[in-house]
């Protein structure tokens, strides 16, 4: 029997098609392919349908977060012993500001180590900023009182679904934990039968109907990530931070999980901060993109404008996508390594790797420049690129 029948939208003869018609809550095929980063019909529909409503759910204002690092000092004259230690600070997030509207899906992209995950943890109140403020629905984060409107309304999906699930707990019990927590029960009391029903329903929606009694090791990687998604969405949060949710999965499983995520985002209408280093995935999932480099945002633009990005770093990320290069073109590779966040370059932090850098770039940090409503960039030469 065809092994991909449940994912195939074109198969007419497949018995799975009949299953879906008689059991609409079972696994469903995802939408057809859409070129990432281009205004495909579904991307257009998301914007035309007005999902980007004006209510600002999340406000991040000049947030910074540093971590201390012990550094061995210079050795003595014989080179045998340490002359001392000094504490340096890694500035993981540096003066980041952005907003997220209710129901909006915004992507956060950048290389590994640029501070994306730290920013995601700050937004989830798993960590506190050193400087700046974060507001969720008008209330400060982390919540300062048990009555804060932010409590229980933000969830996170982690990169590794196996380590984010308790291996000794049935997945249904893991998913039910959020509904049985004291905070949730205070806001929306549910008896045990209602909790069971809600868990059963969310498993059906992520395509794992009837699998609540299994343990995490009985699932494949993609199924485990769908369990993690069910656990995040069962409480119907208003904001979900997805931290590289598909980068640990192989390509075909990535497509399954992304399709499920997008269907559920459209159905439940929760806002999403989608963290990834893959611009293709972000272009597929999100209507707006934030580009991060060495702890700072360098460009913010609509996903449909990615092909016309003005910052050289965004351009390099876009041109490194195989789908953007075409068959007869070579992929553009960004030269050099990400500089150490312990010793940030002067002026524009991107200048050691930028093909357009000049003396002004080396001396002076660029300020934000607004190119159009919702499109801003930090580059001295944004007008000329």
User: Which residues of this protein are in contact with ligand SF4, per CB under 6 A?
Assistant: 311-312, 348, 350-351, 354, 356-357, 361, 366, 379-381
**Exposure of 245 in the CB half-sphere (CA atoms within 13 A):** 33
We find the least distance from the C-beta atom of residue 279 to ligand SF4, in angstroms, to be 17
Concatenated DSSP letters for 315-383?
HHHHHTSHHHH-TTSPPP---SPPPPTTSPPSSSTTGGG-TT--HHHHHSPPPPEEEETTEEE--TTTT
For residue 299, list its beta bridge partners: 291, 377
DSSP state of 75: B
Residue 293 to residue 314: CA distance in whole angstroms: 10
Smaller CB separation from ligand SF4, 7 or 299: 299
We find the least distance from the C-beta atom of residue 366 to ligand SF4, in angstroms, to be 4
For helices 171-180 and 221-233, angle between their N-to-C axes, nearest 10 degrees: 20
Smaller CB separation from ligand SF4, 198 or 361: 361
Smaller CB separation from ligand SF4, 75 or 356: 356
We find the least distance from the C-beta atom of residue 170 to ligand SF4, in angstroms, to be 51
Smaller CB separation from ligand SF4, 288 or 349: 349
Quote the tokens at residue 331: 């992929």
Smaller CB separation from ligand SF4, 286 or 309: 309
We find the least distance from the C-beta atom of residue 365 to ligand SF4, in angstroms, to be 8
Smaller CB separation from ligand SF4, 187 or 356: 356
Residue 190 to residue 115: CA distance in whole angstroms: 38
For residue 274, list its beta bridge partners: 107, 242
Smaller CB separation from ligand SF4, 227 or 291: 291
We find the least distance from the C-beta atom of residue 350 to ligand SF4, in angstroms, to be 4
We find the least distance from the C-beta atom of residue 356 to ligand SF4, in angstroms, to be 4
We find the least distance from the C-beta atom of residue 312 to ligand SF4, in angstroms, to be 5
Beta-sheet strands, E only, within the chain: 56-72, 85-101, 105-109, 131-136, 139-141, 154-157, 239-243, 271-276, 288-293, 296-302, 369-372, 375-377
Smaller CB separation from ligand SF4, 74 or 385: 385
Contact 212, 199 (CB under 8 A): yes
For residue 300, list its beta bridge partners: 290, 376
We find the least distance from the C-beta atom of residue 360 to ligand SF4, in angstroms, to be 7
Quote the tokens at residue 327: 């068959």
Residue 305 three-state SS: helix
Smaller CB separation from ligand SF4, 215 or 368: 368
We find the least distance from the C-beta atom of residue 355 to ligand SF4, in angstroms, to be 8
Residue 19 CB coordination number (10 Å):
14
The distance from CA 344 to its chain's CA centroid, rounded to whole angstroms, is 25
For residue 88, list its beta bridge partners: 69
Contact 152, 181 (CB under 8 A): yes
């Amino acid at each position: 029997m065809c092994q991909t029948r449940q994912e195939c939208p074109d198969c007419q003869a497949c018995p799975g098609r009949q299953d879906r018609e008689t059991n609409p809550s079972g696994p469903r095929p995802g939408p057809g392919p859409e070129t990432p980063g281009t205004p495909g019909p579904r991307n257009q529909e998301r914007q035309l349908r007005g999902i980007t409503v004006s209510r600002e759910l999340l406000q991040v204002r000049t947030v910074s977060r540093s971590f201390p690092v012990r550094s061995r000092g210079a050795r003595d004259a014989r080179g045998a012993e340490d002359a001392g230690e000094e504490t340096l600070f890694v500035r993981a997030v540096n003066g980041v500001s952005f907003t997220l509207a209710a129901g909006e899906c915004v992507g956060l992209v950048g290389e590994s180590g640029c501070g994306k995950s730290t920013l995601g943890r700050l937004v989830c109140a798993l960590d506190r900023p050193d400087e700046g403020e974060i507001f969720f629905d008008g209330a400060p984060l982390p919540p300062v009182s048990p009555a804060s409107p932010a409590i229980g309304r933000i969830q996170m999906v982690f990169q590794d679904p196996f380590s984010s699930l308790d291996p000794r707990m049935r997945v249904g019990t893991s998913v039910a934990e959020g509904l049985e927590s004291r905070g949730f029960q205070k806001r929306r009391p549910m008896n045990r039968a209602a909790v069971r029903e809600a868990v059963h329903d969310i498993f059906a929606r992520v395509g794992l109907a009837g699998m609540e009694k299994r343990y995490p090791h009985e699932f494949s990687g993609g199924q485990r990530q769908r369990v993690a998604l069910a656990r995040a969405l069962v409480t119907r949060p208003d904001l979900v931070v997805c931290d590289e949710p598909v980068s640990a999965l192989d390509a075909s499983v990535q497509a399954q999980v992304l399709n499920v995520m997008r269907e559920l985002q459209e159905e439940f209408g929760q806002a999403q901060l989608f963290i990834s280093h893959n611009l293709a995935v972000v272009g597929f999932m999100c209507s707006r993109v934030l580009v991060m480099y060495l702890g700072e945002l360098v460009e913010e633009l609509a996903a449909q404008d990615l092909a016309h990005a003005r910052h050289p770093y965004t351009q390099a990320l876009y041109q490194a996508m195989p789908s953007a290069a075409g068959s007869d073109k070579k992929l553009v590779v960004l030269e050099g390594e990400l500089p150490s966040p312990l010793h940030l370059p002067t002026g524009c932090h991107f200048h050691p790797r930028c093909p357009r850098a000049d003396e002004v770039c080396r001396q002076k940090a660029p300020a934000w420049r607004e190119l159009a409503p919702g499109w801003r960039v930090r580059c001295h030469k944004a007008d000329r690129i």
